[in-house]
């Protein structure tokens, strides 16, 4: 079967456009017409038919085109009633004439839209020079390199070689290609030339390589960022890394280094340019991985109490099969500890010869000697992480063998064992930092105030529950077991106690005591009392274990319990699947050390958070995650699929996991019969209300499956995403990285109503002042306190207005630049500079620093379109300035109210009683108080961040103006540099001061 010809050069785009295709023409009045568009043979004009105009009017001269935009980025698209039904990736606009009018079009596929955009941009950029395109595609750096490769392999120098040699050569250059596919391509080329031979000419070799190894989606990207050249120079690469990939502090030398490392041709490495093959290699390299390398190190504060962290935990660590028949296996411990597991289980019973054993009490075959297990744990305890390891001891031994256990642990662990008695003067557990390289034993403890050598304690671990359920003995009271003082003394910070209710726990539980919850019990509490569960987990450790009914060792969804602040959610490591993917992905974010700090709203002593919140979390700014699934590479057939040839029909599912309000799933269309390089080109948006608890899971599935549909997946916390164009290395069902199997995506994270993180791109949608949502404070019913909170209402509105006004002004600039809301300010300045350049290549505006703010001043008269753009730019600078100059005062007012409110924190109960509040009403008053404190803290932080971002924006704009040549020589440059220093001083000064 002849395969569809791929676009691999500008001439391919031009040929396609000359043949013509149908495009939809969108009018401002919400009408859409189907028209057939073609490019004139002489490449001078674009024509469409049918048209009511005469033939000479139904055309657009290439010389009149100002710019070409991909996506719905014009007034027509924004105001068209049907715009929502038009795919972002299929829309394009041709901006033409002195008044920047737009011809708005929609292609049948993203691929066709890309061809027209790339081809037209190429023509416009070369309109000033004569075109001989069909010739030029063979004069590119790429062809020169391929010729040298061919000549080096052509030992006879005849300009011809055996097909076998050519196949080997292409496979060497691109190891992911299948031999059968390369041979088919040679046959196709030869058939088109009506010749049959097993020899290949240089021209045929180059043609086959270009068609097989050019990924059209990478080619379109290269053309876009190289300003229509067939290669990138150091300057192009620098702008791409800064404006698109969110990389800061990049230098020309760093870009030249990338070129030297990835460019395949010697000429390119010497002259400093990156052609399509080198660029593809670079995009596939670890440098363009989706996972932020910062998070491969420990990035979180490790000095908080142990209860403030999620802890990587395994359930029945000794099992590598199911709960019923699975034998105990030492490899369970090896695997868990190598995966940074920080809470492991030992189920210990009496063994022969007075030696305790570890075994599955439902299946007594192949028990493990306790001593051997302890030795393995000792060897690997801190192999993957130096933070504390918790041993959850299920003790079912006689007193005699308990003493043997103690001897083994003391001898083997030595001073790693943490046995210091907790201080009653403290109220929180020590930190992971303080407990580094320590092994903590969790278990039952004898009363400290009784001088006894042994005594009875309750046995309420899950093993006992499983045994009770299996024997149908549902007596409510757990059985009693004997415990010796020596084993009791090894337990210090994690004493096992039974949970009764939150009221009892708040009054009677000590911070060093912890409860274990069955999955069913934890689920009930999470549904009925989510706020109480979060508050309980601020001080105490909670451990949740899978239901006794999960006999097949299936896993619970850990996210359900993380949302309530439960630190230790025990997982069956031996069972792969979506739940284990979430667990593994979650613990990658802090250097893989097995500890992840919980969001501050779940740690602060006075704060309000409920996992069941339906939308915005008080004090947290929602973010919008923009994901474009571009293409896939080398998808394998699903492992368990029945025989149906090698054909697959892949599609991609994007799952968001987090608090219930954030959980959602979307999917791409299916690409028929393509596993090598399926092109999806689909964009999605997700609102994330609590970004710190969100994860994204990419799953690739086969739509035409018999048996198994799973192809690959990748799960990553939102906090670890890198923006820009990224390749995702897909993992198999059991979690192994699959070689050369990737998903190519574009990622951007923006605020719901404006600018994103300084380095991680910008905005989403503009929210008008009338529709603006202000986070409201709640009435507590306690007059003294409500009077204090009333003082914060105005500053809170002011803070929201300052942030939203700046963000809206930024959106306006982006819209007028013809850029999508998620574009960066750097991209805006690049677009501006190309528009604000006269016919003689001199800028029509200049950068002028006023009080360290980057204004743009016109040099002479400007057309109305440019005036409108400059007015929007001025407003953005003005709103940023207002925010920077007034943020401190507003922030102080908010903080003062927060502090004044907090002074009443200890008195709440007494005040409530005085006002006659009790029971539910008193609880409601305390909850409203916590809500208000959370709002004040959160809104203060958001304002502080907005100021930092505005300062960063001013620096970025100034640097971008300087690099785009929008400044006069000499004097202004010196002034600009001084201005930049002033911004930096302002920045550092504020960091050392209040904000």
Model pLDDT for residues 267-321, shown as the tens digit of each residue: 899 999 999 999 999 999 999 999 999 999 999 999 999 999 999 999 988 887 7
Cα–Cα dist 49/37, whole Å: 7
Q: How much is the pLDDT for 716?
A: 97
Question: Which tokens in the block code for residue 665?
Answer: 């799933």
What tens digit of pLDDT does each residue of 518-534 get?
Answer: 999 999 999 999 999 99
Has residue 904 got a pLDDT over 90? Answer: no
pLDDT at position 759 over 70: no
Query: Cis link prior to 50 (omega < 30° from 0)?
Result: yes
Give the separation between CA 989 and CA 995, rounded to whole angstroms: 9
Residue 138: per-residue pLDDT: 60
pLDDT of res. 363: 63
Nearest to 831, CA basis, from 859, 806, 866, 807: 866
Is the distance from CB of 515 to CB of 542 less than 8 angstroms?
A: yes
- The rounded distance, in Å, linking the Cα atoms of 23 and 547 is 57
Other Cβ atoms within 10 Å of 569 Cβ, number: 30
* Vertex 667 angle, CA 662 and 670, to 5°: 175
Any alpha helices (H) in 174-233, and if so which ranges?
A: 179-192, 202-213, 216-225
What DSSP string describes 412-435? Answer: HHGGGB--PPPPTT-SSPPPTTTT
- Split at pLDDT 50, 70, 90, the class of 982 is low
**What domains appear along the chain, each with residue ranges and CATH number?**
10-127 (2.30.29.30), 306-467+476-602 (3.20.20.190), 623-750 (2.60.40.150), 783-968 (no CATH)
Give the residue ranges of DSSP H helices in 25-85: 75-79
Mean pLDDT on 815-829: 82
Average pLDDT, the chain: 85
- Residue 594 and residue 585: Cα distance in Å, rounded? 11
pLDDT for res 757: 37
The pLDDT of residue 968 is above 50: yes
Does residue 617 carry a pLDDT above 70?
A: yes
User: What pLDDT digit, counting tens, does each position of 909-942 carry?
Assistant: 888 888 888 788 888 888 899 999 999 999 999 9
Q: Which range among 94-103, 346-355, 591-600 shows the weakest confidence by mean pLDDT?
A: 94-103
What's the CA angle centered on 135, arms 130 and 141, to 5 degrees?
Answer: 100
Q: What is the 3-state secondary structure (H, E, C) of 440-491?
A: EEEECCCCCCCCCCEEEEECCCHHHHHHHHHCCCCCCCCCEEEEEHHHHHHE
Residue range 141-146: average pLDDT?
Answer: 86
Nearest to 26 by CA among 77, 74, 69: 77
β pairing state of 357-360 and 343-349: antiparallel
**Contact indicator for 824, 810 with CB cutoff of 8 Å:** no
Which pLDDT band, with edges at 50, 70 and 90, does 972 fall under? very low
CA angle 502, 508, 512 (to 5 degrees): 95
pTM: 0.87
Q: What is the pLDDT of residues 5-56, one digit of tens each?
A: 567 777 888 889 999 999 999 888 778 889 999 998 888 889 888 877 776 7
Q: What's residue 465's pLDDT?
A: 56
pLDDT, mean of residues 484-499: 92
**pLDDT digits 0-9 by tens, 834-889:** 777 766 667 788 888 888 899 888 887 888 888 888 899 999 999 999 999 999 99
Task: Catalogue the E-assigned strands of 468-585.
Answer: 480-484, 491-497, 513-518, 542-545, 568-571
Residue 193 has pLDDT above 80, yes or no: no
């Amino acid at each position: 079967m002849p395969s569809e010809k791929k676009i691999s050069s500008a001439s391919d785009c031009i040929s396609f456009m000359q043949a013509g295709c149908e495009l939809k023409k969108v009018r401002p009045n919400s009408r859409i017409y189907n028209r057939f568009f073609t490019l004139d043979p002489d490449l001078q004009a674009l024509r469409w038919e049918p048209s009511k105009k005469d033939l000479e009017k139904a055309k657009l001269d290439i010389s009149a085109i100002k710019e070409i935009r991909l996506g719905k980025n014009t007034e027509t698209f924004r105001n068209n009633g049907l715009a929502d039904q038009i795919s972002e990736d299929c829309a394009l606009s041709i901006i033409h004439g002195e008044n920047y009018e737009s011809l708005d079009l929609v292609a049948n596929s993203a691929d066709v839209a890309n061809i027209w955009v790339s081809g037209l941009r190429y023509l416009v950029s070369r309109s000033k020079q004569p075109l001989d395109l069909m010739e030029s595609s063979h004069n590119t750096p790429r062809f020169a390199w391929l010729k040298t490769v061919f000549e080096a392999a052509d030992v006879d120098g005849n300009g011809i070689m055996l097909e076998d040699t050519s196949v080997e050569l292409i496979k060497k250059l691109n190891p992911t290609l299948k031999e059968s596919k390369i041979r088919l391509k040679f046959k196709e080329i030869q058939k088109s030339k009506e010749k049959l031979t097993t020899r290949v000419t240089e021209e045929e070799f180059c043609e086959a390589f270009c068609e097989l190894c050019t990924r059209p989606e990478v080619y379109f990207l290269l053309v876009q960022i190289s300003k229509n050249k067939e290669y990138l120079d150091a300057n192009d690469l620098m702008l791409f890394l800064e404006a698109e990939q969110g990389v800061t502090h990049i230098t020309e030398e760093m870009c030249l280094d990338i070129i030297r490392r990835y460019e395949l041709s010697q000429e390119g490495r010497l002259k400093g340019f990156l052609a399509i093959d080198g660029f593809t290699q670079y995009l596939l390299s670890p440098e363009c991985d989706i996972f932020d390398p910062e998070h491969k190190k420990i990035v979180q504060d490790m000095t908080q109490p142990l209860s403030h962290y999620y802890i990587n935990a395994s359930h029945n660590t000794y099992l590598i099969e199911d709960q019923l028949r699975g034998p105990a296996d030492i490899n369970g411990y090896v695997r868990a500890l190598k995966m940074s597991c920080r809470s492991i289980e030992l189920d210990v019973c009496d063994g022969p010869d007075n030696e305790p054993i570890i075994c599955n009490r439902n299946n007594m075959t192949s028990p493990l000697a306790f001593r051997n297990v302890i030795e393995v744990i000792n060897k690997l305890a801190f192999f993957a992480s130096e933070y504390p390891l918790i041993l959850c001891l299920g003790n079912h031994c006689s007193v005699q063998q308990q003493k043997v256990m103690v001897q083994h642990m003391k001898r083997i662990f030595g001073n790693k064992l943490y046995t210091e008695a907790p201080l009653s003067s403290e109220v929180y557990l020590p930190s992971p930092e303080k407990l580094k390289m320590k092994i903590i034993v969790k278990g039952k403890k004898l009363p400290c105030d009784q001088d006894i050598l042994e005594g009875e304690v309750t046995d309420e671990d899950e093993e006992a529950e499983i045994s009770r359920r299996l024997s149908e003995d549902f007596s409510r009271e757990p059985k009693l077991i004997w415990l010796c003082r020596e084993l009791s003394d090894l337990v210090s910070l994690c004493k096992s106690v039974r949970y009764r209710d939150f009221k009892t726990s708040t009054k009677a539980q000590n911070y060093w005591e912890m409860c274990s919850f069955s999955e069913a019990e934890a689920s009930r509490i999470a549904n009925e009392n989510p706020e109480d569960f979060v508050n309980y987990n601020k001080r105490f450790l909670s451990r949740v274990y899978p239901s006794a009914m999960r006999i097949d060792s299936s896993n619970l969804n850990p996210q359900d319990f993380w949302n309530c602040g439960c630190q230790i959610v025990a997982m069956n490591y031996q069972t792969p699947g979506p739940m284990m993917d979430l667990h593994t992905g979650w613990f990658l974010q802090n250097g893989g050390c097995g500890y992840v700090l919980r969001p501050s709203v779940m740690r602060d002593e006075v704060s309000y958070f409920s996992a069941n919140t339906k939308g915005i979390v008080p004090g947290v700014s929602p973010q919008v995650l923009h994901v474009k699934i571009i293409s896939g590479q080398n998808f394998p057939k699903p492992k368990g699929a029945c025989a149906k040839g090698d054909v697959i029909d892949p599609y991609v599912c994007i799952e968001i996991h987090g608090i219930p309000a954030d959980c959602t799933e979307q999917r791409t269309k299916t690409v028929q019969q393509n596993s090598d390089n399926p092109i999806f080109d689909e964009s999605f948006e997700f609102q994330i209300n609590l970004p710190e608890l969100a994860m994204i899971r990419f799953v690739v599935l086969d739509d035409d499956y018999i048996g198994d549909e799973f192809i690959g997946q990748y799960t990553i916390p939102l906090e670890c995403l890198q923006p820009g164009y990224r390749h995702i290395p897909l993992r198999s069902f059991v979690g192994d990285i699959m070689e050369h199997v990737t998903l190519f995506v574009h990622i951007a994270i923006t605020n719901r109503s404006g600018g994103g993180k300084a380095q991680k791109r910008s905005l989403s949608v503009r929210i008008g002042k009338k529709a603006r949502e202000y986070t409201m404070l709640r009435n507590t019913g306690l007059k003294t306190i409500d009077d204090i909170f009333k003082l914060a209402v105005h500053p809170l509105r002011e803070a929201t207005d300052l942030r939203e006004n700046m963000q809206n002004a930024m959106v306006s600039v982006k819209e007028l630049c013809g850029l999508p809301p998620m574009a960066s300010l750097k991209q805006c300045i690049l677009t501006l500079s190309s528009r604000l350049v006269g016919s003689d290549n001199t800028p029509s505006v200049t950068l002028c620093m006023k009080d360290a703010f980057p204004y743009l001043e016109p040099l002479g008269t400007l057309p109305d379109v440019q005036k409108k753009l400059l007015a929007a730019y001025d407003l953005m600078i003005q709103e940023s300035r207002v925010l920077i100059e007034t943020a401190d005062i507003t922030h102080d007012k908010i903080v003062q109210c927060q502090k004044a409110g907090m002074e009443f924190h200890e008195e709440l109960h007494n005040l409530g009683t005085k006002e006659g509040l009790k029971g539910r009403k008193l609880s409601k008053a305390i909850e409203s108080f916590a809500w208000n404190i959370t709002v004040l803290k959160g809104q203060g932080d958001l304002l502080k961040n907005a100021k930092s971002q505005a300062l960063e924006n001013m620096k970025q704009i100034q640097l971008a103006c300087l690099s785009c040549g929008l400044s006069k020589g000499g004097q202004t440059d010196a002034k600009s540099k001084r201005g930049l220093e002033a911004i930096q001083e302002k920045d550092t000064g504020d960091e050392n001061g209040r904000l």
